[in-house]
Structure 1
């Protein structure tokens, strides 16, 4: 089972001059995508008892995501107001004192034996106490479980860039797989070409650094020659949830190939990396072809 630990929230999406509430959040979207792909997946994040909490739980249940590790709380659900510019999503967050924001290291439970891998990232890494809680989870369990990290960096959400860079440095050093967009790499290493920046990240310890570039496709930096996969051509509705679905495709492919483990990743081959990139790109292409974070179900994926 893959455990996804990180934010869930309500996206308020423009709809004919109004805002329509949709369940979202970077790590939440990845959990949903994994469940829809038929993968065994569990989710860890506080869910509010407010009406939005039920909105968040329903898609998890429908996708078969286990939610037994999600504490319920009277604190309010995080809200993200979404604006779209040429199909690209931009966000404004309402997060102070929210259910997820107040997750503390002491709230992190012991993990069931069925958990085989950890996925974390998004804005849940930024503020405290929740950022410290996710870091504590990875510090406690990352030596025995493979960790995939997607910071999904939102500069406007980062009040203390120096502290966040330090946290990312610690987390990257513990991660086995790190996924970074071109924007992420530019924030981490301004002035460096994306490939050079990705190699800087690889030098910090991960087995795989996945560099995504939208229509430019994806590249994997690892011990061997760089592996590339082209983006799948499709008509783009918007890009909400695309990277999150890509993450799910990567994890699903690696698990199905039998290499989602410390030993498996240490012995991974170029063909296995390429297969994972291709599966992730195929899943992401379906998501971008329809509005909102709406990842594919298993029956919608190419055979």
Structure 2
């Protein structure tokens, strides 16, 4: 089972002069996408007992995601108010004291034996106490379980850039797989060529570095020659959830190929990597072809 730990929230999206509440959050989206693709997946994040918490749980259950590890709390669900200015989305977070923000080490149960890997990232890594809790969770388990890390950097959400850079400098060497978008690279490694940034991360211990570039496709850097998968051409509705779905496709493929372990990733081959990148690109293409973070089900994937 792949255990996803990181934010879930409600996006309040403008619609007809009001706001429509939609479940969201980068790590939550990846968990949903993994479940829809047929992967064995669990989710760990505090879920409120308020009505929005129940709204978050329903898609997890429908996708077959195991949410039994999620602690329930009376704290309120995080809200992200979305406003549009000249077509560009801006976000205002109602997060202080929320269910997720107060995620604490005491909320983490003993992990079941079937957990084989951890996926973490998103804005849940930024503020404390939740960021420190996720960091501690990775520190405690990365030696036994491979970790995939996607920081999914949102500069507007980062109040203390120096502290967040320091956190990522501690976390990246503990990750077996690191995925970065072009925007992530610009923030983390300014004035550095993507291949050089990937080389630096591999030198810190990662087995695989995934760099995505939207229409430019995705490239995997590892101990062998780089492997590239082109983006799948499609009519784009929006790009919400594209990266989250790509992550799910890669992890689902590695799990299905039986190499989602430290030993398996050490024996990675070009064929295994090509299959993972291809599934990630195919799944992301379906997500961008329809509005919102709506990842594909396994029966919608190319055969």
TM-score (norm 1): 0.97
Q: What secondary structure sits across from 2:80 in the alignment?
A: strand
Structure 1 CA distance for aligned equivalents of residues 127 and 251 of structure 2: 26
Gap change, CA 1:14 and 1:184, over 3 Å in 2: same
Give the Å deviation of 1:87.
Answer: 7.8
Which residue of the partner structure matches residue 9 of structure 2?
9
Which residue of the partner structure matches residue 110 of structure 2?
110
Structure 2 CA distance for aligned equivalents of residues 86 and 266 of structure 1: 47
- Where does 1:81-230 land on structure 2 (aligned, <5 Å)? 81-83=81-83, 90-230=90-230
Preserved contact between residue 185 and residue 198 of structure 1 (Cα < 8 Å): no
Structure 1 CA distance for aligned equivalents of residues 17 and 146 of structure 2: 44
Matched, 1:240 2:243: no
Structure 2 CA distance for aligned equivalents of residues 243 and 131 of structure 1: 21
> Higher mean Cα deviation, 289-298 or 159-168?
159-168
Alignment coverage as a number of residue pairs: 303
Preserved contact between residue 89 and residue 239 of structure 1 (Cα < 8 Å): no
Preserved contact between residue 88 and residue 238 of structure 1 (Cα < 8 Å): no
> Higher mean Cα deviation, 88-97 or 198-207?
88-97
Matched, 1:287 2:287: yes
Which residue of the partner structure matches residue 256 of structure 1?
256
Give the Å deviation of 1:191.
Answer: 1.4
Which residue of the partner structure matches residue 70 of structure 1?
70
Structure 2 CA distance for aligned equivalents of residues 147 and 87 of structure 1: 36
Which residue of the partner structure matches residue 26 of structure 2?
26
**How well do the aligned residues superpose, as a CA RMSD in angstroms?**
1.4
Write out per-residue CA displacement over residues 194-236 of structure 1, whole angstroms, 9 at most, x where no aligned residue.
2322322222211111000111100111111111110000111
> Higher mean Cα deviation, 72-81 or 22-31?
72-81
TM-score (norm 2): 0.97
Gap change, CA 1:35 and 1:253, over 3 Å in 2: same
Give the Å deviation of 1:167.
Answer: 0.9
Q: What secondary structure sits across from 2:198 in the alignment?
A: helix
Structure 2 unaligned spans of 5+: none
Structure 1 CA distance for aligned equivalents of residues 159 and 175 of structure 2: 24
Write out per-residue CA displacement over residues 140-171 of structure 1, whole angstroms, 9 at most, x where no aligned residue.
11111111000001111111111111111111
Structure 2 CA distance for aligned equivalents of residues 64 and 88 of structure 1: 34
Q: What secondary structure sits across from 1:185 in the alignment?
A: helix
Gap change, CA 1:265 and 1:86, over 3 Å in 2: farther
Q: What secondary structure sits across from 2:106 in the alignment?
A: helix
Gap change, CA 1:99 and 1:134, over 3 Å in 2: same
